[in-house]
């Protein structure tokens, strides 16, 4: 066996030389085994620092290819410099990565070089919990305190293990009284779990006849941060603290391992493994929820990952074991667990700003009905196995056959003899979830205003957009993005079927019904008891129909209203009332004829679906007030009536029916009221007499005159007459040909009923003098009718726009429907009802408009959005400012900028005790892998940042306002020197364009970004002016592979010549440099 052992040492040496760049064959292949044991002996632990650095250099090169992986094997004892650094977690097996192997003279009883010593890396990432057992070729071997094996391997196998914490001295290597040449107490691997494993040559061939046995360490590996055990975390209790690995605990929970991976594994202030995101950039609450779900379902994880794989892929596999997926919103890392959800908001058609799109089903290749789960099994020597297919027969029938998919769950493990761990069941449940989730619809995309800015990925909301087939449909938000220039929020989501959870967890055998769009429901027919129809006169004396309805018990989008004269057959459209949050409908139909019968009908509408009609009426519209007044005069004046002007009512003996009485004060200096003599109503008993008509008593009485114009006319005559005897005679002329009567006394009255308007004269003792007129001329009546018709036509043809006023006092003007926001009363909303400002009852409308506007708009009703680092000077209340470095959106409240939303801390920010990562790789790392004392440098373990999101700087420059013509004009220029030799730059450009004086819609300006003094066009944008208004713009360009100083210039010109120049204000250039 001595020769075989020497050969093993030689192969290890050659691999090590290959990793450091020595002995490579053409094309990078490892050279064939050659050399001697002397070469192997020369490779010390210090030399393997070069191996580690070389491997990590390969990690950096592969970080931009996340689909490529070169993982090692947890079940094979190998030497593989391409496998990266192992990271073991949960309870699992690790056979180890050989980082040193050599033979030496130990016992030297029957052979030279009779001891083969290995140094085995088991797991990086800090302190582990324990090693449960060790096996050699699946046979359990135990060891004494001095490292010597028990049983048949005594004096033929020796082992020592370091559990990954801080290491003062290297593991003892003495076996057979000696240590391998070149290994001392200074050769340590602090922070890495590793073992020294030594084998003695068996001259009889009974122990190692088949060669070196396959070792395996089964253990409980790295510990994790659990916020639930952290008193500093809201709701937590305990000593566990983020980024303090000495407080971490051991766990199988997938979400806790994912959270710790996001935080990163740190040793001596340097990131060893993981993402390394600041705590402020992690939505810790998402991982706490996922951890609780995993505990409730009995889901665990375990296995070995390798540093050569994508950090994001590792995070996905960890969360997959817990039924979750990672999310990235802005600079925030979170996760979305699969669990029953309760909707926290309802979004309706009225909330949508743009078109909603729905993918009703997933593509066929993503929609399957059978899954073969693959996972790791301890009973099968920790290998990946394929379980029996998980299938849903109802879906197989629906699909017309089996649609099968094989899914790997590499971190799900079926362990032996572990209470509460059932990997077989866990794999089946996750497979069932994958099947039912493939039946959900999505993506569903929509856009809203800032009202829903608090929603995040993983939230459940209800979409009620019947026109798109979404009738109170729960959905799970999968992504959220904010456009700071428009304050629009874009969402994507997929449907959520509540019954799928019980099915996937085996609580019911009935699978959920596959999602299908809901056709818009046909609305119900309006109920007769909910609606009423009446007729009345408006303030101008014109007839109209008044319709009132109660819609509190129905769910509809709008009410359609039609009307017609009872004698006609065709219906005319009266209008459509859109239902928001009001419970009642009040609608007036004007322009109807007086003294005519009308019918009205109503129907409910939802989307495009229209219900049956409910017919109301008939009702008779009252006569035109002017016509009624003339008719009343005709019937109440019979050419001569007596008018009494006195404090007390005239008696029945001295007055007749239809006589007039003006009640005065005792001194007759002031008229109190006007009355007319009628039969059977009014002020009973004033006259004191009764008459019998066919046996029934009829009391003559005085009743008040309601028409103020008649009272005014009588008052004018009364004031003029100043009668001495308190009596006047009223004469009436019905045509111009009638003889003009002669007054009997001063104050007598003459009603000229043939005139239009009707004229009342009084006798001044000599002739008739005009006292008053009432009613309207025919021309005036025609003019009023035409004005009402024009108003109705204007209302019918209006473009739906209304005027909105933002001020502290009520506007002096205003038309029906106009809005006024009282700025010194919390933007309280009023609506003009045609005559005055009335407080709006619907607070939800006011709140929505207030949230959309933010604050008092400027004079033209618009707000200005600023994008930049420097604090801008606002142009008016409600202006918005987006600051990229802090990712905050602020609003000017009139005196200060107030933050209204934040997407989280910017990428790359370090908070608390999170240190920054030092990266050394390539030749620098390879040549400086160890300290002078032979120990591995603490900064020699390097991993790439996730998605390369480190930002080194955000320099910017802001120009001043510049006028321009149709020739290119320089607006701003900035010279920037990248920090790296070959950098990737993101250049952001913003400003406001105004084409003054053109007053032509569609006039455009070209904005261009150039480099190197205007020789290299990077990007351009066309800005369209809308009739002499300010148009903000913002665009960006990406540039790769730059080095040395770069000059960027912003030019602007008009597309056509015009009367005046254009103007660009607040031009700005900002640059983001990404580092690899």
CA–CA separation, 387 and 377 (whole Å): 10
Same-domain status, 601 and 694: no
Q: Taking residues 548-554, what's their average pLDDT?
A: 84
Tell me the range of 420-424, 756-760, 764-768, 1063-1067 where mean pLDDT is highest: 420-424
Q: Does the structure show a pLDDT above 60 at 37?
A: no
DSSP lists the bridge partners of residue 497 as none
Same-domain status, 616 and 641: no
Residue 128 within any structural domain of the chain: yes
Q: Taking residues 17-29, what's their average pLDDT?
A: 27
Same-domain status, 826 and 730: no
Q: Does the structure show a pLDDT above 50 at 1?
A: no
Q: Does the structure show a pLDDT above 90 at 803?
A: no
Region label for 959, one of left (φ > 0), alpha (ψ between -120 and 50) or beta (otherwise): beta
CA–CA separation, 605 and 349 (whole Å): 14
Same-domain status, 163 and 127: yes
Q: Which of 471, 504, 537 is the last residue of a domain?
A: 504
Going by C-alpha positions, the residue among 269, 25, 389 that lies closest to residue 913 is 269
Same-domain status, 574 and 657: no
User: Is 443 in contact with 494 (CB distance < 8 Å)?
Assistant: yes
Same-domain status, 755 and 849: no
CA–CA separation, 1013 and 1036 (whole Å): 19
- What pLDDT score does 35 carry? 29
CB-neighbour burial class of residue 87 (10 A; exposed 0-12, middle 13-18, buried 19+): buried
93 secondary structure, DSSP code: E
CA–CA separation, 424 and 643 (whole Å): 108
- What pLDDT score does 866 carry? 81
Three-state secondary-structure class, residue 299:
coil
Which CATH number fits the domain that encloses residue 1018?
Answer: 2.60.120.760
Q: Which two tokens stand for residue 667?
A: 């001194």
Q: Does the structure show a pLDDT above 50 at 1033?
A: yes
User: Is 966 in contact with 1055 (CB distance < 8 Å)?
Assistant: yes
Same-domain status, 1061 and 961: yes
Q: What share of the chain has pLDDT > 90, as a percent?
A: 35
Q: Which two tokens stand for residue 256?
A: 């806790």
pLDDT one-digit tens code per residue, 927-945: 444 455 544 444 433 333 3
CA–CA separation, 225 and 248 (whole Å): 5
CA–CA separation, 299 and 422 (whole Å): 8
- What pLDDT score does 799 carry? 41
CB-neighbour burial class of residue 888 (10 A; exposed 0-12, middle 13-18, buried 19+): middle
Q: Does the structure show a pLDDT above 90 at 1012?
A: no
Beta strands in 415-557 (DSSP E): 444-448, 460-465, 470-483, 488-495, 531-537, 543-550
Q: Taking residues 599-607, what's their average pLDDT?
A: 88
Q: Taking residues 569-585, what's their average pLDDT?
A: 83
pLDDT one-digit tens code per residue, 211-262: 899 999 999 999 999 999 999 999 999 999 999 999 999 999 999 999 999 9
Same-domain status, 216 and 138: yes
Number of domains in the chain: 6
Answer with the residue of higher pLDDT: 439 or 748.
439
CA–CA separation, 922 and 92 (whole Å): 33
Going by C-alpha positions, the residue among 14, 219, 248 that lies closest to residue 96 is 219
Q: Does the structure show a pLDDT above 90 at 175?
A: no
Predicted confidence band at 62 (pLDDT cuts at 50, 70, 90)? Answer: very low
| Backbone torsions φ then ψ of 814, nearest 5 degrees | 130, 145
Residue 43 within any structural domain of the chain: yes
Residue 869 within any structural domain of the chain: no
User: Is 810 in contact with 837 (CB distance < 8 Å)?
Assistant: yes
Instruction: Report helix angle 311-320 to 254-263, nearest 10.
Output: 160
Residue 99 within any structural domain of the chain: yes
Three-state secondary-structure class, residue 1027:
coil
- What pLDDT score does 153 carry? 94
Task: Provide the pairing of β-strand 470-483 with 460-465.
Answer: antiparallel
Q: Which of 470, 504, 538 is the last residue of a domain?
A: 504
683 secondary structure, DSSP code: B
867 secondary structure, DSSP code: E
User: Is 22 in contact with 43 (CB distance < 8 Å)?
Assistant: no
User: Is 769 in contact with 720 (CB distance < 8 Å)?
Assistant: yes
Range of the domain at 815: 802-853
Give the rounded distance of the alpha carbon of 184 from its chain centre: 60
Q: Taking residues 352-380, what's their average pLDDT?
A: 89
Residue 37 within any structural domain of the chain: yes
39-43, 181-185, 446-450, 975-979: which has the minimum mean pLDDT? 39-43
Q: Does the structure show a pLDDT above 60 at 860?
A: no
CA–CA separation, 258 and 241 (whole Å): 16
Same-domain status, 27 and 168: yes
260-264, 336-340, 668-672, 678-682: which has the minimum mean pLDDT? 678-682
Map 10-65 to HEC letters. Answer: HHHHHHHHHHCCCCECHHHCECCCCCCHHHHHHCCCCHHHHHHHHHHHHHHHHCCC
- What pLDDT score does 1071 carry? 79
Same-domain status, 394 and 496: yes
- What pLDDT score does 230 carry? 97
- What pLDDT score does 943 carry? 33
Q: Which residues of 321-344 are buried (b: 16+ CB within 10 A; e: fewer)?
A: bbbbbbbebbbbbbbbbbbebebe
User: Is 1007 in contact with 990 (CB distance < 8 Å)?
Assistant: no
Cis peptide leading into residue 618 (ω within 30°) = yes
Same-domain status, 70 and 218: yes
Going by C-alpha positions, the residue among 198, 186, 263 that lies closest to residue 226 is 263
Same-domain status, 551 and 650: no
Which CATH number fits the domain that encloses residue 615?
Answer: 2.60.40.10
Q: Does the structure show a pLDDT above 60 at 274?
A: yes
User: Is 199 in contact with 212 (CB distance < 8 Å)?
Assistant: yes
Q: Which of 178, 204, 222 is the last residue of a domain?
A: 222
Number of helices followed by number of strands (H, E) in the chain = 14, 59
Q: How far is CA 838 from CA 13, 390, 548, 897, in A?
A: 91, 65, 19, 32
Average pLDDT, the chain: 76
Residue 332 within any structural domain of the chain: no
Residue 732 within any structural domain of the chain: yes
Residue 744 within any structural domain of the chain: yes
The secondary structure of 140-161 as a DSSP string is EE-B-TTSBBPGGGTTTEEEEE
């Amino acid at each position: 066996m001595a020769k075989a052992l020497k050969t093993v040492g030689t192969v290890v040496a050659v691999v090590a030389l290959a990793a450091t760049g020595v002995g490579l064959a053409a094309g990078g292949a490892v050279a064939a085994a050659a050399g001697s044991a002397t070469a192997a002996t020369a490779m010390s632990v210090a030399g393997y620092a070069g191996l580690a650095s070389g491997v990590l250099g390969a990690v950096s090169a592969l970080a931009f290819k996340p689909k490529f992986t070169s993982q090692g094997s947890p079940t094979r004892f190998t030497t593989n410099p391409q496998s990266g650094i192992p990271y073991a977690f949960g309870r699992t097996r690790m056979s180890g990565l050989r980082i040193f192997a050599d033979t030496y003279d130990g016992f030297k009883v029957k052979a030279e070089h009779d001891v083969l010593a290995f140094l085995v890396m088991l797991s990086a990432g800090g302190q582990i919990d324990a090693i449960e057992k060790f096996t050699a070729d699946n046979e359990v071997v135990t060891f004494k305190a001095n490292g010597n094996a028990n049983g048949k391997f005594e004096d033929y196998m020796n082992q020592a293990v370091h559990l990954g914490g801080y290491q003062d001295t290297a593991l003892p290597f003495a076996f057979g009284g000696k240590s391998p040449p070149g290994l001392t107490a200074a050769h340590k691997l602090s922070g890495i779990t590793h073992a020294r494993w030594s084998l003695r040559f068996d001259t009889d061939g009974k122990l190692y006849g088949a060669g070196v046995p396959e070792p395996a360490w089964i253990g409980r590996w790295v510990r994790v941060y659990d916020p639930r055990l952290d008193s500093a975390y809201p709701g937590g209790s305990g000593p566990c603290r983020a980024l303090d690995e000495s407080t971490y605990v051991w766990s199988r929970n997938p979400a806790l391992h994912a959270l710790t991976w996001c935080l990163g594994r740190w040793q001596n202030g340097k990131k060893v493994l993981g993402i390394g995101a600041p705590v402020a950039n992690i939505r810790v609450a998402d991982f706490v929820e996922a951890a609780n779900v995993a505990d409730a379902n009995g889901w665990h994880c375990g296995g070995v990952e390798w540093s050569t794989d994508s950090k994001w892929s590792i995070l996905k596999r960890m969360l997959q074991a817990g039924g979750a997926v990672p999310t990235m919103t802005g600079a925030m890392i979170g996760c979305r667990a699969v669990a029953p959800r309760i909707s926290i908001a309802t979004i309706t058609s009225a909330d949508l700003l743009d078109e909603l799109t729905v993918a009703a089903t997933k593509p066929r290749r993503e929609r399957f009905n059978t899954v073969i789960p693959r996972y790791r099994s301890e009973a099968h020597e920790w290998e990946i196995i394929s379980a029996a297919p998980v299938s849903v027969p109802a879906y197989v029938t629906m699909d017309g056959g089996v649609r099968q998919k094989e899914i790997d769950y590499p971190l799900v493990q079926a362990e032996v003899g572990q209470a509460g761990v059932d990997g077989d069941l866990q794999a089946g449940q996750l497979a069932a979830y994958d099947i039912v989730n493939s039946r959900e619809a999505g993506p569903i995309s929509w856009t809203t205003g800032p009202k829903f800015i608090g929603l995040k990925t993983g939230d459940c909301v209800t979409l009620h957009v019947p026109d798109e087939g979404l009738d109170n449909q729960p959905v799970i938000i999968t992504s959220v993005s904010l456009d700071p220039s428009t304050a629009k929020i874009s969402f994507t989501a997929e449907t959520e079927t509540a019954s799928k959870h019980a099915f996937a967890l085996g609580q019911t055998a009935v699978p959920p019904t596959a999602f299908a769009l809901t056709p818009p429901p046909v609305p119900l027919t309006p109920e007769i008891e909910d609606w009423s129809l009446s007729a009345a006169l408006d303030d101008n004396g014109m007839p109209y129909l008044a319709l009132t309805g109660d819609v509190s018990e129905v769910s509809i989008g709008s009410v359609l209203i039609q009307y017609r004269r009872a004698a006609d057959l065709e219906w005319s459209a009266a209008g459509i009332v859109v239902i928001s949050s009001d419970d009642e409908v009040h609608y007036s139909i004007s322009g109807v004829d007086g003294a005519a019968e009308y019918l009205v009908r109503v129907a409910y509408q939802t989307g495009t679906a229209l219900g049956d009609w409910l017919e109301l009426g008939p009702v008779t519209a009252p006569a035109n007030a002017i016509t009624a007044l003339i008719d009343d005069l005709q019937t109440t004046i019979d050419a001569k009536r007596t008018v009494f002007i006195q404090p007390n009512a005239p008696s029945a003996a001295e007055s007749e029916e239809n006589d007039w009485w003006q009640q005065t004060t005792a001194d007759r200096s002031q008229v109190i009221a006007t009355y007319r003599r009628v039969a059977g109503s009014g002020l009973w008993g004033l006259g004191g007499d009764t008459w019998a008509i066919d046996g029934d008593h009829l009391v003559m009485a005085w009743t008040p005159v309601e028409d103020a114009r008649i009272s005014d006319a009588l008052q004018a005559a009364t004031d003029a007459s100043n009668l001495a005897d308190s009596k006047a005679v009223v004469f009436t002329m019905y045509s111009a040909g009638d003889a003009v009567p002669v007054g009997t006394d001063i104050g007598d009255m003459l009603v000229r009923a043939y005139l239009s308007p009707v004229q009342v004269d009084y006798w001044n003792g000599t002739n008739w003098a005009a006292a008053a007129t009432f009613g309207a001329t025919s021309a005036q009546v025609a003019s009023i009718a035409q004005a009402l018709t024009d108003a109705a036509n204007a209302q019918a043809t209006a473009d739906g726009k209304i005027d909105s006023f933002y001020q502290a006092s009520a506007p002096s003007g205003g038309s029906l429907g106009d809005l006024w926001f009282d700025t010194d009363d919390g933007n309280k909303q009023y609506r003009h009802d045609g005559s005055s400002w009335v407080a709006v009852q619907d607070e939800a409308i006011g709140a929505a408009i207030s949230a959309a506007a933010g604050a008092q708009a400027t004079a033209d009703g618009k707000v200005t959005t600023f994008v930049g680092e420097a604090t801008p000077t606002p142009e008016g209340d409600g202006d918005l400012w987006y600051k990229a470095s802090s990712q905050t959106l602020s609003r000017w409240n009139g005196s200060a900028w107030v933050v209204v939303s934040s997407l989280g801390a910017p990428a790359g920010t370090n908070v608390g005790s999170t240190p920054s990562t030092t990266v050394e790789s390539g030749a620098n790392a390879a040549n400086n892998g160890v300290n002078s004392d032979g120990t591995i440098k603490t900064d020699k373990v390097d991993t790439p940042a996730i998605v390369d999101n480190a930002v080194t700087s955000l320099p910017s420059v802001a120009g001043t306002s510049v006028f321009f013509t149709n020739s290119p004009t320089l607006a701003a220029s900035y010279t920037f020197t990248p920090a790296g030799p070959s950098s990737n730059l993101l250049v952001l450009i913003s400003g406001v364009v105004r084409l003054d004086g053109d007053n032509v819609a569609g006039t455009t300006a070209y904005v261009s970004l150039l480099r190197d003094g205007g020789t290299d066009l990077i990007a351009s944008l066309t800005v369209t002016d809308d009739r002499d208004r300010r148009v903000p713009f913002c665009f960006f360009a990406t540039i790769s592979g730059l080095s040395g100083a770069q000059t960027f210039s912003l030019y602007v010109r008009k597309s056509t010549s015009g009367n005046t120049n254009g103007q660009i204000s607040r031009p700005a250039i900002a640059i983001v440099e990404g580092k690899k």
